[in-house]
Amino acid sequence: MTQIVEGDRRLAIEEAAARVIADPANSRVAAGLLAEEIADEAAAHGVRSFSGSIAATHAAGLIQDGLAEFVAAHAAELDALVSDAADERFEYFGLRTVYDRYLLRHPVTRTVLERPQHFFLRVACGLSETVAEAAELYRLMATLSYLPSSPTLFNAGARRPQLSSCFLLDSPRDELEAIYDRYAQVARLSKYAGGIGISWTRVRSRGSLIRGTNGHSNGIVPWLRTLDASVAAVNQGGRRKGAACVYLETWHADIEEFLELRDNTGEDTRRTHNLNLANWVPDEFMRRVEAGEDWSLFDPKDVPDLPDLHGEAFTRAYRAYEAEGRHTRRIPARTLYGRMMRTLAQTGNGWMTFKDTANRTSNQTARPENVIHLSNLCTEILEVTSDAETAVCNLGSVNLAAHLDGRDGLDWERLRATVRTAVRFLDRTIDLGFYPTPEAGAANRRWRPIGLGVMGLADVFFALRLPFDSPRALELSTRIAEEIALAAYDTSADLAAERGRHPSYDDTRAAAGVLHPDHYAAAASPRWDALREKIAATGLRNSLMIAIAPTATIASIAGCYECIEPQVSNVFKRETLSGEFLQVNRYLVADLRERGLWTQATRDGLKRADGSVQHLPGIPDDLKLLYRTAWELPQKALIDLAAARQPYVDQGQSLNLFMAAPTIGKLSSMYAYAWKQGLKTTYYLRSRPATRIAQTTVQPAAAVEQVACSLENPDVCEACQ
């Protein structure tokens, strides 16, 4: 009997979840049922309270003794903090994500040993020294105001608390042993749920002489094939697949083969299907593209110091080596740039990240020997690396949607308070974390970088009715970034006064009185002057503080739009390891409901138009403007928002760009603009499939009638060009 009831509830959950388009309230219905299901599952293990869940997970060997002792000593106080009513804030997809991936499970039965609120409080306790601290962080998480990154959510309080999201490894030295040593480091870092960025710029190119054997090198591709296989083999605790991004500087002689690594045609022995690819582009290259000049490609063996130079010094050395004839080949810079654009269009990969901008503005690069050699898996982390130091970053993001003041703006005071707490806990993770390699531990303790980001910017714009490309949106977005940076720097200065500066503080630009906004003329203000004075006295606890990460999973948990991104569609499907989930823009639905327009015909029309409201009959113009999708917004606006925010983002931004039907001409204009606007990095180029499935659950348009407008098939539709 109970089995039938449980089966029925599961079906009811799936039914409700699949019907969110008809009524977004079904998402909460499904979430409510799932919360009951989870509570029953935990109760089957005797778990009825937070302290009970800690006892059960400790008995199962999943958490540290220290955490269990802390909770046992404060059981009554901590149990009283738990608010199960907070579960009502979850959308179905968020709760389902928590249930499938984050709740601790019994090693044998695989059923859960804790409820969602127990999980939040466990993470909070895992990062806290006192009940008061735990209460503060728990409150932010329970209200979905701030969430630490996934590795912290997975591992806080665990036996091996690997809390960091990203690792950045310098290129292996150009020798066999160094390369194999890097594979081992990558595997160890990947095992504990870290995303990997790794440069390959120092490794000699194809045709280079190998003195020891008097043979010739096959270049970087075979090595990257091995890296590809190694990364794919590491399954991060069964929770997600390992992932890595390889960076290559634009002058490396194997650059063209590198750009083909993700093609799905050609010789498979020269392809890497799992690696992500990024271009680490010097300014000199972009200048030559603009001027229509030639570009020289070098074997790193012939120019061993180029990877460690940037800015003027790089340009000087590059030109000198060219003049000496050290290059292996010369090609028109535009030809290579065109190939880079083609790779972006065909694979979404081959991200454009800008070496000189990143180094020029970084707090860590005051001394010439400290160089940023690459960004990370998601292009938001920019930290110095060397053979002996693997850069690490601990991340967390503020949910801006949870900081609306209920009237017409943001609750700035609460936003600042959230940032202060977030920075303290991010700083804490540096000391509590387990580092899979000594190179990572050494770097993180010396530089103590953190990466505080945001999510839900699109929610804020919808709630305040600001089109993404409006001047007020730009102004608000920039103010948000500045407020967050001010509060973060201020907190780090306080932490420095309490606990000391980070050990390499004297090697930073801040030690010389230069803060990140000082690199941008537009960003000067008295508020920063005051802060600069304070920092002159206290120093900083952290060398870097702000990074806009993609927040794919934690935005799902929080039920908001990802980081700084516009919506991709008013109706879309999320595919994750735990299944497929339908999402609908609830702001749009509320607006259409209010105007009596949320009908079956509108819903079918919306699906048929792939989530666009632009050509639906009867939709008023103000709603059409507000509810444009990423495909319908000018990408210039996205770049302008990012550029205006950049002074207050001392690391990078995972900025996706969207183009339904990319051409080389449009892409080359767009990325040249991004570089000129001073962006440090960009991320995926998102495009759309050239063909699509026939929809099964929408009434078909009748015979012979032509589809009037289809973004999917732009060649037959002039209206969309």
Partner 1 sequence: MLLDPGMDLTLRPMRYPDFYERYRAAIRNTWTVEEVDLHSDVADLARMTAQERHLINRLVAFFATGDSIVANNLVLNLYQHVNAPEARLYLSRQLFEEAVHVQFYLTLLDTYLPDPDERVKAFAAIEHIPSIRDKAEFCFRWIDSIGDLRSLENAGDRRRFLLNLICFAACIEGLFFYGAFAYVYWFRSRGLLSGLATGTNWVFRDESMHMEFAFSVVDTVRAEEPELFDEELGEQVGRMLEEAVAAELAFARDLCGDGMPGMSAEQMRAYLEYVADQRLVRLGMPRRYGTENPFAFMELQDVQELANFFERRVSAYQVAVEGNVSFDENF
- CB-CB contact of 638 with 566 (8 Å): yes
* Beta strand pairing call for 166-169 and 391-399: antiparallel
Least distance to partner 1 from the beta carbon of 263, Å? 9
Closer residue to partner 1 (CB): 177 or 705: 705
Closer residue to partner 1 (CB): 279 or 538: 279
Closer residue to partner 1 (CB): 323 or 716: 716
Residue 36 has a CB neighbour count (10 Å cut-off) of 12
Report the alpha-carbon distance of residue 322 to residue 315 in Å, rounded. Answer: 11
User: Dihedral through CA 232, CA 223, CA 340, CA 197, nearest 10?
Assistant: 60
Residues 6+ apart with CB under 8 A from 453: 380, 395, 396, 397, 398, 546, 547, 548, 549, 551, 563
Closer residue to partner 1 (CB): 286 or 415: 286
Least distance to partner 1 from the beta carbon of 240, Å? 5
562 given a catalytic annotation: no
Closer residue to partner 1 (CB): 40 or 181: 40
Least distance to partner 1 from the beta carbon of 37, Å? 14
Least distance to partner 1 from the beta carbon of 611, Å? 6
Closer residue to partner 1 (CB): 221 or 661: 661
The conformation of residue 172, written as its DSSP 8-state character, comes to P
Report the alpha-carbon distance of residue 4 to residue 9 in Å, rounded. Answer: 9
Report the alpha-carbon distance of residue 639 to residue 465 in Å, rounded. Answer: 20
439 given a catalytic annotation: no
Choose the catalytic residue: 378, 393, 560, 563: 378
Coil, helix or strand for 512? helix
Report the alpha-carbon distance of residue 361 to residue 621 in Å, rounded. Answer: 42
Least distance to partner 1 from the beta carbon of 119, Å? 19
Per-residue CA distances from 388 to 12, 374, 474 (Å): 55, 15, 41
Closer residue to partner 1 (CB): 83 or 713: 713
Closer residue to partner 1 (CB): 135 or 720: 720
Least distance to partner 1 from the beta carbon of 459, Å? 16
Least distance to partner 1 from the beta carbon of 311, Å? 23
Burial annotation 219-254 (CB, 10 A radius, 16+ → b, else e): bbbebbbebbebbbebebeeebebbbbbbbbbbbbb
The torsion angles phi and psi of 245, rounded to 5 degrees, stand at -125, 130
Closer residue to partner 1 (CB): 17 or 558: 17
656 given a catalytic annotation: no
Closer residue to partner 1 (CB): 130 or 699: 699
Least distance to partner 1 from the beta carbon of 405, Å? 29
Least distance to partner 1 from the beta carbon of 349, Å? 9
The conformation of residue 265, written as its DSSP 8-state character, comes to S
Residues 6+ apart with CB under 8 A from 396: 146, 147, 148, 149, 152, 422, 425, 426, 450, 451, 452, 453
3-state secondary structure labels for all residues of 275-344: CEEEEEECHHHHHHHHHCCEEEEECHHHCCCHHHCCHHHHHHHHHHHHHCCCCCEEEEHHHHHHHHHHHH
* Beta strand pairing call for 244-249 and 276-281: parallel
Residues 6+ apart with CB under 8 A from 447: 364, 383, 384, 391, 502, 504, 543, 544
Least distance to partner 1 from the beta carbon of 492, Å? 29
Which H or E run includes 118? helix 116-126
Choose the catalytic residue: 276, 349, 363, 376: 376
Which H or E run includes 5? helix 2-18
Q: Which two tokens stand for residue 423?
A: 């920075």
Residues 6+ apart with CB under 8 A from 452: 395, 396, 397, 398, 419, 422, 423, 426, 484, 488, 545, 546, 547
Choose the catalytic residue: 37, 91, 114, 380: 380
Catalytic residue numbers? 376, 378, 380
